[in-house]
Every structure is written in structure tokens, then in C-alpha cells.
Structure 1
């Protein structure tokens, strides 16, 4: 089988979408090296990483890279042309992973990874440019994709609710998994945490942006301190996103700025250390397609307080304390209880490790390869229509 696979978001600054593509291609290359793989460091005209064409992170006897575009404009011209499919060598399948979706493929089976449509639920959670670009890609997938891979049951249900015409039997749930293969790693302490004792901090992982709900978490933490909670600092580990320029001012107004450590983007080694050594991981996100930080924290035994919204209960199972994401008082009370109860904290840690063991990249990659085979054995969706 000739597999065309979008790796455009797997560069050095990758986030959720990039981690999905990165881990999936690694696992497929290990499980099925007999296939021919064409990896696309640029894909479409929405997302572009200028450094990707110069990197070859994935290797194998039947792996090739291309096309290599060094500007968004050249990528746009190539990926929107009518002859794109022939230029790619007419792969058996083309798998889109970065929200953009081609519509001109007449032979290759088009597989589209659907993450979430949070930008539809609340437009204020993102910028107009991102909202328009993402929805354009998702809408085009509803028209042109032969199969859709949803990363959770919640995402699958949402997609079918927005696009009820899409055939239900052609949207398959394949879960992401942790990027970390070895759960015994110790990691490396971030410099920003020098002097902070092991087990002496709350952790919240995620890009600083409205959907991740750090504002409400800050309010919950301020309430926690006001109620006499132990003054363990809150470590916010994640790069700066959008629409949060006044976040530091918000912390100052709450009187908690001195208790907040903002690490910025952290390396994998640093993230492992944070997960392994936090008192608990706080993940109050308002909306998730999956919720990868919840799973990765659990893998390293992080006791977890997280949202009861969207896909997160699928990830957390019964191994976390689930809370309404907008209930600051509820979060404050749960933090107070956990801070005062080391036994419960340790029980959550053990349950977290067990829950994380249910997610495995090899299983997910095998499911995806099976989907490719099924797609090849079926007519293109347009032919059925």
C-alpha cells in the first residue's frame, strides 16, 4: 500500500495535532514497514512550518519525503492545483492531519483526522483567522473525505451533529495516546522550578488560551488560598496562545501572581518531571477533542482533577476527580480536600497509572492501518453518493 501522510505539524513546536501525527506515523513504520510511505512536510494552504522541509525525523526503507516547500505561497500553489494527486504519485490513501482538507482527489482514498470544533461552540475561544481556517477544512472534509478518523466518541458525535449527511459508518474513533513510550523516566527539573520542593506544587499543562480555562483556575486557586489552603504554587506549563494578553493582570488583581509559576513551552524531559513530581495535575479545560495532557499526566502517576466536559471523561475514566469546568468554588473545595488528604492523593496516583495503561499507540496504529485497508476495499464516497 502507498500511504501519503501529512506530517506538517510535527515540528519542534508541535501541540496536540502534531503529537497525534508524530506518534501515529512512528507506530505505523514500526508495525508495517512493508508499506510505501510518502510523508508531507507541508500540507495545504492553512498551516505552514518553514523549518519542516529541512527535517527528516522519520526513516524506513520505503519512506520518502515531499514535496518540500519553503514558502506558504509555493505550498498553496501545489496543494490547490488540479494535478496534485498525480504529482504525489497517486497514493492509495492520503491522510490529512492539520485541519486543511483537499477536495480534488479522484483516486486516492482521502482520510481526514477530526480533532474538535471548539471554535463552533464558542467563537471567542480563538482568533477569527484560526476559526475560519479550521472550519473551512472541517467543512471540506464533510464534502470530500472518504473516511473520517475522530479522536474520541465525543468528537465523533459532534461531527455528525454538525454534518448529519456524513455517513456514520465512515467515521471511526481512533484514540490518541501518550507520546512517551517509557513510563519509568525521571525527566529533568525545569529551571523555573528551582527551589520548589518535589510534590510541593500544583500543575496545569496546556497552552495559555481561553479554552484551556486558566482564568477560572486562577480564580479557584485564589479561593483555595482564601479558605486556608496550603500555599503550594501553581505551575502553568505551556506556551502563550491567543487572547490572553491580560492574564498577568488578572493574576495580579486576584492577588496570586507571586504564587504562579509560568514556565512557557517545556521540553518533553521537563514535562515528564512536572507530571511525576506535582502534588496533583489540574486540567480545567472547557472543551477537548481528547485531552492528551490528562492521559500523559496519568501515565506518570499525576493525581488528576479535571473537567467533566466533552471527551475528558473518556480519557480519565474513574481515575480522576471530575468537576464542572466553570465551578471555581467546586475546584477550590476539591483542592482543599486533596491537599489535606495524602491517602486519597496516593490512591488517585495509582488509579491514574492503571487508567493510562488502557491507551496504546500500537493498538491505535493497527486500527488505522486496518481502516486504510477497509477504505481501499470500498469505493470512494463520491462514487457511492
Structure 2
């Protein structure tokens, strides 16, 4: 078939992107590698919900022959444009496929095919873990998509089933599970590992690692309790390292850390570079991820790619990702987490077994395969 004209939302792929942005960034990398016959327009601004003024002026992949959508540096300008059916509709109707990746959905039916990415349903199922403005924006986008989207991409089976529970009128075969993969496994993505600028890493000490935005859903407050119990029970003075930017609704977390008897061994690094993150995965003793709710759980898979032993929650999508290659526990079982942490800290053979299992399991997730599935979805939906 002849090439398609595709508008692809990259609005969340900026310098401090999180899981949604990594997913969109890796997919467009793969699509530009494997779908040369198609014509891509990258939308660095898309909708009135998420807005990154730096990304709005970015030129990702400009050497790859792509085009770019409207550049809206000011949020007000973006909002006025994208909710205007005459202006935004005229732009979007040029394309055979429009792929929405940041929760926003046009509030009308497009002339071409609209594909909408589903990340998770936590804003519906647990609104207490997010802000009211974020809950409303995500909910509005998904509700519009249920009305106007032609097809859906879910990043896990758990996300697909949660969406169908809340939107039972959607036929299941319209929702396609297309998994993320570790970006560290992408061809050409090999950041040089480097230790963060922190004194605990200079002496080559072992440490426990937890990555991800610090917010209630990620459950770092519980992890702090686990670590304190571990130390109170005589656990070795292994530092706990948290790598991730400060999120919402965690204003008192720094004070909780400061009040800990082991505060000197708890290190909050903030947002780290790709090279620093690779180094952390390669050198940590265990990757700890007690999240209550995940659409996928990319930090777990990224650690597994490096052979990092993983302890994580057994909720939502995480069992899909980890399988038998890690230790899965309820995210509120304090005693179970402390017991398991003591076991892994003192049993190198068990850690080595988990390392081998993690690497083998991680190979099941591949960006080339995911990009090929997206490409097939575009072609089928547009035929």
C-alpha cells in the first residue's frame, strides 16, 4: 500500500520526560526506522491538557525528514488553537492517522483514523493519588476517546482490562496491548554509565535503589517504613537511594526522611540523567518498586535489562512484566517486605539467580516488535 500521512504526538517527550514520554519517544524512534514509506508530522504541542513550552519549540528528529505541527509556546495559545474545531480540525484532517499520546483527545471525530494511547486508569480507580486538575484532565481525555477514537493502544493487559471495566461499550478488539520495552535496549541508545555526584558512590558501597517520581501512587513513604524496619531489626547499613523528581502530594516526605534515625543513609537524588540511571541499575544491590498502581512499570523492566534483582508490588501490571523473575509482594505488607529485603541482602546466590532471570525476562520486551505492531495497527485501521 502507499505511504500514510501520520501525525504523532511527541508533546511529552521533552527533557524531563517520565514513563508516558519515554513510551512515545521510543515508538517514534522505532517507527522512523521501520516505516520509511510513511510521512510523519511530529506534534510537539498537542491539546490543552499537557503543555511543555520547551518541547513546543523543539525540533526532534529534524534530520530524519519529518514535518512538525503547530508550535504553541504559550499554554493559552495552545488551548485556543486545539479546542477550535475549525483551526485544529483543519490541521488534523490532513492526516490518515493521528496518534494521541498525552491523554488529550480532540472533542470531535476526525476525518482520518484516531489512535489513542491508554497508560493507566489510576485517576478513575484511585483519585486520592492525584491532583484534582490532573484527574479531571485525564478523565476528560479518556471519555472523549471512548466517544471519538477509532482504536486504542494499551501499554499492558491490566490497563486494557481496567479501561474496558469503565467503558464496557468499547469492543475489546479495538484495544491493542502493545508493550513498552527498556530504552536501554534500543539500537543506538547507549549512554555512558556515570555515577551521580554523591559521596556514597565514590567508595563503591552497595545500596538499595528505588526509581520513579516521588508521589503517593509510587509508595515511597511505605518504602521508607520498610527501610527503617530493616535497619531497626539489625539490617546492614546499606544506603537507600531514591532517584526521581519530586511529584505532587508529597510535601512532607523530605521531613519524614530527615526525622529518620538513619537519615544519613537515605539519599534523594532527584531527576537523574540517562547515564546516571544506567550506572545506578548496574551497581545497586536490589531495585525496590512498591508502587500501588502501574500502567506498566518501566523502571522495573529497565532494571531487569541490566540484570538488577527486583522486589516490587504484585498489583496491576507488574506481575505481567516481572513474571517469575523477581520478588512480588503486596504494596502494604510491611513485614513481608522487610523479611524479603533481609533475605536478599544476605543471600548473594539468590540475587545471582534473580539477575539471570531478570535478563532473560527482559528480552521478551522489544521496541522493534512494539514499533512493528504499531505500524500494523496504523495500516489495518486506515485500510
Same fold judged by TM-score > 0.5?
A: yes
Aligned to 1:288: 294
Which residue of 172, 183, 190 maps to 1:179? 183
Give me the whole-angstrom Cα distance separating, in 2, the residues matched to 1:61 and 1:335.
47
Aligned to 2:122: 118
Give me the whole-angstrom Cα distance separating, in 1, the residues matched to 2:322 and 2:35.
30
Q: Does structure 1 retain, via aligned residues, the 8 Å contact 2:195–2:201?
A: no
Give me the whole-angstrom Cα distance separating, in 2, the residues matched to 1:23 and 1:274.
21
Aligned to 1:69: 72
Which residue of 33, 36, 45 maps to 1:42? 45
SS of the equivalent of 2:53 reads coil
Q: Where do 1:75-224 residues align within 5 Å?
A: 75-83=78-86, 84-88=88-92, 90-180=94-184, 181=186, 187-195=193-201, 197-198=203-204, 200-224=206-230
Deviation at 1:86, TM superposition (A): 2.1
Give me the whole-angstrom Cα distance separating, in 1, the residues matched to 2:63 and 2:170.
36
Deviation at 1:105, TM superposition (A): 3.4
Give me the whole-angstrom Cα distance separating, in 2, the residues matched to 1:335 and 1:186.
30
Aligned to 1:383: none
Change (3 A) 1:322 1:136: same
Deviation at 1:281, TM superposition (A): 0.3
Give me the whole-angstrom Cα distance separating, in 1, the residues matched to 2:288 and 2:205.
14
Deviation at 1:163, TM superposition (A): 0.4
Deviation at 1:302, TM superposition (A): 0.8
Over residues 103-162 of structure 1, what are the superposed CA-to-partner deviations in whole Å (9 max), with x where a residue is unaligned?
Answer: 223311110000001122222211111111111111111111110100000000000000
Change (3 A) 1:287 1:197: farther
Which residue of 362, 369, 377 maps to 1:371? 377
Aligned to 2:355: 349
SS of the equivalent of 1:13 reads coil
Q: Does structure 2 retain, via aligned residues, the 8 Å contact 1:248–1:257?
A: no
TM-score (norm 1): 0.95
Aligned to 2:6: 3
CA-based RMSD of the aligned residues comes to: 1.5
Change (3 A) 1:136 1:89: closer
Q: Where do 1:212-361 residues align within 5 Å?
A: 212-361=218-367
Give me the whole-angstrom Cα distance separating, in 2, the residues matched to 1:194 and 1:314.
34
Deviation at 1:60, TM superposition (A): 5.4
SS of the equivalent of 2:288 reads strand
Which residue of 14, 21, 25 maps to 1:22? 25
Q: Does structure 1 retain, via aligned residues, the 8 Å contact 2:293–2:316?
A: yes
Q: Does structure 2 retain, via aligned residues, the 8 Å contact 1:212–1:285?
A: yes
Per mean C-alpha deviation after superposition, the further-off stretch among 185-194 and 203-212 is 185-194
Give me the whole-angstrom Cα distance separating, in 1, the residues matched to 2:276 and 2:110.
45
Per mean C-alpha deviation after superposition, the further-off stretch among 197-206 and 367-376 is 197-206
Change (3 A) 1:322 1:357: same
Change (3 A) 1:358 1:191: same
Q: Does structure 1 retain, via aligned residues, the 8 Å contact 2:244–2:272?
A: yes
Deviation at 1:70, TM superposition (A): 1.4
Give me the whole-angstrom Cα distance separating, in 1, the residues matched to 2:161 and 2:32.
30
Aligned to 1:381: none
